[in-house]
Amino acid sequence: MTEQTRHPTPSDAASAQAAHWFTQRDEVARNLITAQRFAQWRDADPLNAAAYARLEAMWEAQAFQQALQNLAVDLPLPAAPAARSARRGKTRRLIASAAVLLVALGVGWMGDVPMRLQADHMTGIAQVEPVELEDGSRIVLGSQSAISTEFDGGRRRIRLLRGEVYVEAAHDAGRPMSIETAQATVTVVGTQFSVSEREADVTVAVREGVVRFADRAGEQSVLHAGNWQQLKGGHLQAVSLEGSERQMAWVSGRLSFQDAPLAQVLGEVRRYYPAPIVLLNGAAGQEHVSGSYQLDEPLAIVQALSKVTGTEVHRLPGGALVIR
């Protein structure tokens, strides 16, 4: 049997860097030093090359042409002093905005077939779904989340394929329940808690009872009611003794955060907004913000955060938001 080739999946960081280099295509073509820097970036990591190749392929897609035309007409652009520089600046801004829009749209365009084949329960954008499991446990699946379940005589196993899940585990001393991600396992008998996965980072927050949180290397900790902890960068971070309710505020339809980078908060808002949200201001993305907002008004959240950070929000055709 021929082994199936696995293509690398670009990370958010690689996709963002690819968008930057895509806007510099003309400069790469005419400037040897820039071309060398681009080649070094592309060849440094297969994920970089894959992200750029995907962006090129989507750029050529016929379905993108109408969106590109709309973008050229409706994207607010500042005036330039000279006609020639204005045309050049407008073209550059158009390509930049189109490139990041492609990155944001790419996942949806390429489809979600592999995830659908694995998942027993799955939610879309802004969809929060309560589910009762066969053992009597109740869960709430967060926006853009997916799980598979495996219940038999000896165990209860939930695989969090992406996103977040809140669990009220039915008590069954003979069959502990495990919630597994690619990087960690959470084990309980009967308790209330949430598990969230963002790329390789996992967050566990406990409302009631006790859970065991273990990474793949065998490091583990025990969390009690009110505690929460993150697996970040492959390592368990210190246990936080309070603030667990903030981590699971989404269950009640709220987004709550304290002293968090704007870029991180926008990452959460994207899960509830039906169009891409693109941040083009790196400095603002590192600014720390705090707040508590209703998740049923994601546009209002973005606008409020824009005022706090002194950025501008441009709404593109189809609802896509570009933050400068």
Q: What pLDDT digit, counting tens, does each position of 196-248 carry?
A: 998 889 999 999 999 999 999 989 999 999 999 999 988 999 999 989 999 99
Indicate whether 2 pLDDT > 80: no
Identify the three-state secondary structure at position 164.
strand
Cα 50-70-92 angle, rounded to 5 deg: 60
Q: How many CA atoms lie within 13 A of 307 on its CB side?
A: 6
Structure tokens at 2: 């021929």
Between CA 59 and CA 106 the distance in angstroms is 10
Between CA 287 and CA 257 the distance in angstroms is 13
Pair 48, 18: CB distance under 8 Å: yes
Pair 102, 71: CB distance under 8 Å: no
Pair (199, 129) in one structural domain = yes
Boundaries of domain holding 270: 253-323
3 in any annotated domain: no
CA distances from 235 to 143, 195, 200, 246 (A): 26, 16, 10, 22
Structure tokens at 82: 């000279």
Q: Residue 222 pairs with which residues in a beta bridge?
A: 212
Pair (284, 233) in one structural domain = no
> Shortest CA distance to 98 belongs to which of 43, 127, 60, 125?
60
How confident is the model over 252-261, as a mean pLDDT? 94
How confident is the model over 267-284, as a mean pLDDT? 90
18 in any annotated domain: yes
Pair (127, 231) in one structural domain = yes
Pair (135, 73) in one structural domain = no
Pair (199, 316) in one structural domain = no
Task: Give the least confident one: 64-78, 148-162, 271-285.
Answer: 64-78
pLDDT at res. 96: 55
- In the chain, the largest separation of any two C-alpha atoms, in whole Å, equals 76
268 in any annotated domain: yes
Pair (134, 238) in one structural domain = yes
Last residue of a domain, one of 93, 110, 127: 110
Pair 134, 146: CB distance under 8 Å: no
Q: Whole-prediction pTM value? A: 0.68
Q: DSSP string spanning 108-143?
A: HHH--HHHHHH-SEE--TT--EEEE-TTS-EEEE-T
Alpha carbon of residue 245 to chain centroid: 21
Ranges of beta strands (E only) in the chain are 121-122, 129-132, 138-141, 146-151, 156-168, 177-180, 184-188, 192-198, 201-208, 210-215, 220-224, 228-232, 235-236, 254-261, 277-279, 288-294, 313-315, 321-323
Q: Domain tally for the chain?
A: 3
7 in any annotated domain: no
pLDDT at res. 78: 41
Pair (141, 188) in one structural domain = yes
